[in-house]
Chain A
C-alpha cells in the first residue's frame, strides 16, 4: 500500500464529502429564506439530498481492488470506509425524515445543516488513516451532536442532555488526544498504518504501548458508549430530541466502531493479546451492565439507551475474535442493529408525537390504537432481542460464531446469557403493548407519510437482513478483509 500522489481524480473519491458540505450550505440558505413553515420542506430536502449522495456514493465511490491512501495518507479509500459511508448516509436520511415535525425545535435550517455536517464527520471518521485527520473527523462529528442534543432550548431535559454530552465528550476526547500525542512522540509519525512499524521494532516497551492503548480506548469507548464510559448515554438519550437520539444511538455508535476496528487492528498488533483481553472484559461488563440496568427502566427512551449500551457489548465480541470473520461480524451486527434501532425509535417518535409521553405504561393498548405501529414495535424489539428470522438473530449468531471460532467460548456464553436477559425486558414492553388495555383505545395514532416511509423501509430491511443474510455478510467480509 502506497500513498497515491494527488491527481484531480482523487477528488472523485471524496465526492460524497464534498456533496455533503454543499448540501449543508444549501440547507442553511433554504432554512433562512423559508422562515416558519419550512419544517416539512427542509426535512424532505435533506432526506432527498442525502439519498442522492447515497446513490452517488454507490455509483462512484466504490473502491478498487487495492486500498489506496490519498491526500498524503490522510484518508484511506477501501471497502470498510465505503460500507460505513453508505450506512451513515442511510441513517442520516432516515433521521431527516423522522425529524419532520419534532416539537420545540426552532431554527430548522441549522438543525438539518448540523445533521448533515455530523454525517460528513462520520464518513471521514470511517476513512481516516491519520491521527490528525481522525481527531478532526471525530470532533466534526461530536461538536454538531453536542449542539443537536441540546437543541430544544426551551426544554430543561434537552439543555441538560446537551451539557452532559458535551462535558463527557470533551473530557474523553482530551484523554484520547493525549494518547495520540504520546503515540506520535514514540513513533515519530502520525499515520496509523506507519505507527505500528515504528512500534514493532521493539524500541518501545509494551507497558508504554499498553498505556497509550488505554488512553486511546477511553475516547473510542465514549463514542460507542461502552462501560465504564456509558454514563452519558441514558441521560442524553432521554433528553435529546428523539430523532437525534436515534441518530446518536445508531450512526454515531457505528462511526465509533469503524474507528475502533481500524485503529486497534492497525496500530496495536504488538500488544494484541493484552488489548484483546481488555476489550473482552469491557464487552462482558458492557453487556451485563447495560442489560441489568435496562430491567428497571420505566421510560422507553432510557430502556433503549441501556439496550444500546448492551448492543455495543455484543458487537465488541466480534472485535475480540480478532479474525477477518470476527470483524465482518461486527460490521454485519452494526448493519442489523442500525436498521432495527431506527425502526424502534421511529415508533417512539410517532407515539410521543400523538400521545406526548415516553413512559412505557402509556403504551398500554397500543395494539388496539394502531395495530401497524404495534407490529413494527414487535418486529423491532424482537430483532433487538435476537429472535429468528429477524436481523438481530443473524447478527448475534455471527458474532457469537466468530467468538467460538477464535476460542472465546466463555465470552460467547456470556453473550447468550445476556441475550436472554435482553429478551426479557423487550418482552415486558411488548406485554404492555399487546396485553394491557387503556381508556384511550378509540384514539388512533396518526402516521404521516414520511414516518410511514421510514417504518416500511426499516421493517423490510430487518426482514431482508434476517432471511437473506448472504449478500450482506459478503459485503461485511469484503469490508473486513480491507483491514487485514
Chain B
C-alpha cells in the first residue's frame, strides 16, 4: 500500500502550486482556478487522512463532501462576479481592475 506521507506530500505540493498561482497570476479566472487547486489539495488531505487514520469515522468523508459543495457554490459566485466586471470593463486582468487604490 502506498504510504500516507505520499498523499500528504502531493497535497502540500498541490497547495503550494495553487497558492503560487493565486499570487502570481494576473487573470481573475486563473486565480480562481488556482484557488480550486488549493481546495483540491485540501480534499486530497481529508480523504487520505480519513482512509488511513480514521476509516470508521464518517467525519473526514463528510468534510470532503462539504468542501466539494462549497467549492462549487464559490466558483459559481466567483464566475458571476467576473462576468459582471467583464461587462463593465471588458477586461478581467486584475492589475487593470484598480479604480480604488490606497
List residues of A whose CB falls within 8 A of some B CB: 131-132, 135-136, 139, 143, 146-147, 150, 153-154, 156-157, 159-164, 166-167, 170-171, 174-175, 177-178, 180-182, 184-185, 188-190, 234-235, 238-239, 293
Contacts and interface: CB of A to CB of B under 8 A. Distances in A.
B81 A150 contact: yes
B20 to A, nearest CB: 12
Given A132-B59, A136-B70, 6 more contacts: A135-B66, A159-B88, A166-B81, A170-B32, A189-B57, A235-B100
Contact of A234 (B8, B15, B81, B100): B100
Q: Which DSSP category, helix, strand, loop or mixed, fits chain B's interface?
A: helix
Interface string B27-47: 010011001001101100110
Contact of B97 (A160, A174, A188, A189): A160
B67 A177 contact: yes
25 contacts: A132-B59, A143-B77, A146-B78, A150-B85, A156-B89, A160-B99, A160-B100, A163-B85, A167-B32, A171-B19, A174-B35, A174-B39, A177-B42, A181-B63, A184-B46, A184-B49, A184-B63, A185-B45, A185-B48, A189-B59, A234-B102, A235-B100, A238-B100, A239-B99, A239-B100
Given A139-B73, A171-B35, A132 B66 contact: yes
Interface in B48-102: 48-49, 53-54, 57, 59-60, 62-63, 66-67, 70, 73-74, 77-78, 80-82, 84-85, 87-89, 94, 97, 99-100, 102
Given A157-B99, A238-B100, A143 B74 contact: yes
A178 B15 contact: yes
A132 B63 contact: yes
B80 to A, nearest CB: 8
Contact of A156 (B15, B42, B45, B99): B99
Interface of B: 8, 11, 15, 18-19, 22, 28, 31-32, 35, 38-39, 41-42, 45-46, 48-49, 53-54, 57, 59-60, 62-63, 66-67, 70, 73-74, 77-78, 80-82, 84-85, 87-89, 94, 97, 99-100, 102
A398 B39 CA distance: 40
A9 to B, nearest CB: 25
Contacts of B99: 156-157, 160, 239
Contacts of A146: 77-78, 81
Q: Which DSSP category, helix, strand, loop or mixed, fits chain A's interface?
A: helix
A167 B63 CA distance: 23
B102 to A, nearest CB: 7
B41 A178 contact: yes
Nearest to A238: B100
A132 B58 CA distance: 12
Contacts of A143: 73-74, 77
Contacts of A159: 81, 84-85, 88
Nearest to A181: B45
Given A136-B66, A163-B85, A188 B57 contact: yes
Contacts of A182: 45
Contacts of A132: 59, 62-63, 66
B8 A185 contact: yes
A139 to B, nearest CB: 5
A48 to B, nearest CB: 29
A317 B32 CA distance: 35
A234 B102 CA distance: 7
A180 B46 CA distance: 9
Nearest to B48: A185
Given A136-B66, A178-B45, A167 B73 contact: no
A117 to B, nearest CB: 12
A161 B101 CA distance: 11
B72 to A, nearest CB: 11
Nearest to B64: A181
By Cβ-Cβ distance, the 4 closest A-B pairs, closest first, are: A185-B49, A181-B45, A174-B38, A235-B100
Given A143-B77, A184-B63, A163 B28 contact: yes
B84 A131 contact: no
B5 to A, nearest CB: 11
A235 B94 CA distance: 14
Contact of B70 (A135, A154, A184, A189): A135
Contact of A171 (B11, B22, B67, B88): B22
Contacts of B41: 178
